[in-house]
Amino acid sequence: MFPHRKYSALALLLIYSRQQGADAFTTAAQRPNVLSATTSTSLAVEGFGPSAAVKERPTTDDAAVIDTNLTAEEAKQALIDLIPRMTGNEEEYRAVESYVNLLEEKYSPVQTIDFLNLAMAGEWQLLFSTNLTGKPNRKLRLRELVQKIEADGFGGSLTNSAQWDYSENDENTFDSTGSFNIKCSYKINQGARMVIDLDRHELRPANGSGVPSDVPAMVALLNRAIPKEMFDPNDHAMDTTYLDADLRIARLTGSKHEGVRNIFFRKGQLEIKPV
């Protein structure tokens, strides 16, 4: 388990906000999706769902980026140390790719649904996504983005919650605050693959907070700031490609977000403060 640390929300969640001139998170059409690019693929049948899943494991040559002799724990530590320091250059993305590939290659999937649910349930804080595409906006600040999983056998509920501050004045001081919740349900129907359905969106101002005068405009900014696969989870599924007590890596599959990786850390292990 990692020691308790403090990182800024922008360093962890909105890394791209430090890159006013260059967007660190771009679409696949704008830059290679470094976490999904592979030179070859090895297939392994594994899982415990109603049918076995065929899991793809990238086998890129990472020797030029990291030491491939690292243990899983060493790669995990290096990944967590790297993410807060990222400035958006390609070498950093290649290093993240390499650490993720190494962790996925060394990962032994949980073999029963009960153990998977026990390990996966709870609140997970988003540390990194390859699918943050929006430009920062001074009117909106995201303080935290958490994914909560409540498991129930081969199904359950999944909620993506963004804590926000919003400004409607010229001084750029925040006059409203609250949470934006994306409520979903899911089924596990192939190996450990979660097929997600969007149930509803909820905008909840905090107690004592003002209410934005133009709610649709504010939600539009949230749509730009939150990874698309978390804002609208329809039409894709999520594979857990690495999971331990602290760290969880999810790979998206589907027509919209194929190959996108999200990296989560269990909430409470890292203290994130807004800047």
Tell me the pLDDT of the chain (275 aa) as tens digits: 444 444 433 333 433 333 332 233 233 333 333 333 332 222 222 333 333 333 343 444 444 468 888 999 999 999 999 998 888 888 998 999 999 999 999 999 888 899 999 999 999 999 998 886 656 788 999 999 999 999 999 999 999 999 999 998 877 789 899 999 999 999 998 778 999 999 999 999 999 898 999 999 999 999 999 999 999 988 889 999 999 999 999 999 987 888 899 999 999 876 555 44
Q: Per-residue DSSP letters for 46-77?
A: E--SSS-EEEEEE----TTTS-TT--HHHHHH
122 in Cβ contact with 148 (< 8 Å): yes
Angle at 183 between CA 179 and CA 187, to 5 degrees: 150
DSSP assignment, residue 16?
Answer: G
Entry pTM:
0.75
* CA distances to 73, 170, 191, 208, 222 from 146, in Å: 24, 30, 24, 23, 14
Largest CA distance in the chain: 57
Token couple for 226: 């939150």
Q: SS3 for 158?
A: strand
